[in-house]
Amino acid sequence: MPPTATPPARPKLNDGGLLLCRVAGVPVLLSPSWWVGAALIVLLYTPLVGRILPSAGIWESAVLAAVFTVLLAASVLLHELGHCIVALRLGLPVRRVRLFLLGGLSEISRTPPKPTQEGLIAAAGPAVSLVLAVVTGIGWLALVPGGAIWLLVAQTCVANLAVAVFNLLPGLPLDGGRMLRALTWRLTGKRGAGTTAGVIGAGVVAAALIAWALIGLLNNAQDQWLRLGVCVLMAWFVVAGASAEHAAEQRRRWPTGLKLQDLVRPVLQLPAESPVGDALLAAAGRGVVLVRADGIAVGLLDQTAAERLATHAPNEPAERAAEPVDPDTILLDSEPPDAILERVQSVLAWQFLVVDQEGRPSGVLRREDLRGALRSSRE
266-301: string of b/e by CB count within 10 Å (b at 16+)? ebbebebebebbebbeebeeebbbbbeeeeebbbbb
CA nearest 83: which of 26, 37, 134? Answer: 26
Just list the catalytic residues. 80
What's the rounded Cα separation, in Å, for the pair 214 and 207? Answer: 11
What's the rounded Cα separation, in Å, for the pair 235 and 229? Answer: 10
DSSP state, residue 1: -
Cis preceding-peptide flag for 47 (omega within 30 of 0): no
What's the burial of 224, exposed, middle or buried (CB within 10 Å: 0-12/13-18/19+)? middle
The answer to whether 61 and 54 are in contact (CB under 8 A) is: no
DSSP, collapsed to helix, strand or coil, labels residue 264 as coil
DSSP state, residue 92: -
What's the rounded Cα separation, in Å, for the pair 84 and 69? Answer: 22
